[in-house]
Amino acid sequence: MDDVTIRADEFDAVIFDLDGVITKTAAVHETAWAEMFDRYLRERAEETGPSFEPFTSVDYGEYVDGKPRYDGVQSFLRSRGIELDWGDPSDPPERETVCGLGNRKNDEFTRIITERGVEPYESSVRFIAELHDRGVRTALFSSSRNANAVLGAAGLGDLFAVRVEGQLTAELGLPGKPDPAVLIEAARRIGARPDRTAVVEDAISGVEAGRRGEFALVIGLDRLDQADALAASGADVVVPDLADVMVTGSHLRDAATLPSARSDELWSALGDLRPAVFLDYDGTLTPIVEHPDLAVLSDESRATLEQLAATTTVAVLSGRDADDVIGKVGVPGLYYAGSHGFDIRTPSGDAAGGDLDRFDTFLPELEAAEAELRDALADVPGANIERKRFAIAVHYRQVPEEHHAAVADAVGRTASAYSSLRLAGGKMIFELRPDVQWDKGTALRWMLTEMHLDVPEVLPVYVGDDVTDEDAFRELEHCGLGIVVGREERTTRARYALDDTEEARLFLDELRSRVAGRGA
């Protein structure tokens, strides 16, 4: 067995196949294929005369595993000298076409997982959690159109925010493995370059796709005693289980042990520089509450913001809709950015415009996706859909735990149906946003440039509490100060911490006092 280590400072992302990597469904797929093909081959032998030769594990690994369903049907049949019309994906299972047989197999697979359920590989789930803790992004790719159903059945509906599965790849017209298109699309959607991304695959065709896509590392999982074949197909390392892969290194810090933002250490870092202050809203300026409408800024906090804005640049960068956060903060003359930076307003209240106008092209699909989600979640108790101009937020804080998987499955299906949107998450929230490399970090960088604050004498400061704020902390790792609000068990890219929203207000008031005093 080869030793392998994922270093968090060398990889931005790891992307995973599903069946045989995350869930123990490769064997289920093989069983479904065998039952479908054996029944068909036996019927064909009775009609045409050649002796019946059953479908084998070797056939599964060589002709079917890792490929789109219909491609797998055609590949195996050709290995037996059988040519059938391709047919149409709408063909009924009894029709003798490539698509008809593929649909037969799908019915068989659905029957098996419905009767038996789906078991995850716990070592894979732990490995993904370790990657997340160390700041490495993850995404799922799969040739299966059942991927979302399988994740839901395994209780892993919220494990991956980005999924490129069979239904989506068909809509996008992406070729199947060993072509690397699906893997490249998964990396693109998570905002990672292939040369900074690792691939985890158990299928020979998927390993070959990873190598052809020039990914930085291709890990072959040997679930079927085919280590030599995986290595020959391009795996850099082959392991029997992800428990054998170490994750080391991190840009992340333990929030509980970070120095206070109100300490002398931060004030020394500020020195004589002019701060430019960027603030999240929920969980930073106001406590987290059960319903977004209840997050009301106190008069005391509003006064603090007004006084701070009189001494230095202040901007609010929120996941809320821009009009919503402007109304809730109620302090004129600030820069505001809503929908995680997709909707930026100048101090005059006008849209920033310019190259940001391109986001308007996503509005029709957002409207359609919103309608679909409202229908899908109409009967889920506590589900709250919040439409923003450039995002759709699905809050499930008030949803009973037994319905969380249903929410994740509905959001995942909708995300797969709209190729121009991508799925993201936060504290008890799923969001659909335009599928572009734009987040609080890139929006912060854009604002610094547009506001002429990317100069040596200015020190950008970002204060936030959510996982979505980590993008902004990342942007300021080498040119500013990130401050996380809350010391619950978590890792963060922030350099300083504040206990809660009240301490955040006291920090802003002290910052105002120091800047004003320096000016005097």
Q: What domains appear along the chain, each with residue ranges and CATH number? A: 4-22+118-248 (3.40.50.1000), 27-116 (1.10.150), 253-357+438-519 (3.40.50.1000), 360-434 (3.30.70.1020)
Residue by residue, what is the 3-state secondary structure of 226-243? CHHHHHHCCCCEEECCHH
Local confidence band at 444 (pLDDT 50, 70, 90 cut-offs):
very high
Q: Where are the alpha helices (DSSP H) in 2-155?
A: 26-48, 57-59, 69-79, 98-116, 122-133, 147-153
C-alpha to C-alpha distances, 110 to 68, 145, 402, nearest whole angstrom? 16, 11, 22
Catalytic residues: 280
Single-letter amino acid code for the residue at 508: L
**Token pair belonging to 303:** 């006064």
Beta bridge partners of 277: 314, 461
- What's the N-to-C CA distance of the chain in angstroms? 68
Contact 162, 411 (CB under 8 A): no
pLDDT, position 29: 81
**For 149-190, how does the pLDDT look when each residue is reduced to its tens digit (9 = 90+)?**
888 778 887 788 788 988 888 888 899 889 999 999 898 887
Q: How far apart are CA 204 and CA 494, in angstroms?
A: 41
Counting Cβ atoms within 10 Å, is residue 190 exposed (0-12), middle (13-18) or buried (19+)?
A: buried
Q: What are phi and psi of 195, to 5 degrees?
A: -75, 0
**For 261-314, how does the pLDDT look when each residue is reduced to its tens digit (9 = 90+)?**
999 999 998 998 999 999 999 999 999 888 878 889 999 999 999 999 999 999
C-alpha to C-alpha distances, 165 to 136, 162, 433, nearest whole angstrom? 21, 10, 18
Q: What are phi and psi of 83, to 5 degrees?
A: -115, 125
Local confidence band at 520 (pLDDT 50, 70, 90 cut-offs):
very low
Contact 140, 131 (CB under 8 A): no
Contact 377, 403 (CB under 8 A): no
Contact 505, 308 (CB under 8 A): no
Counting Cβ atoms within 10 Å, is residue 1 exposed (0-12), middle (13-18) or buried (19+)?
A: exposed
pLDDT over threshold 80, residue 424: no
* Pairing relationship of beta strands 458-464 and 274-279 according to DSSP bridges: parallel
Beta bridge partners of 460: 276
Radius of gyration of the chain (CA): 26
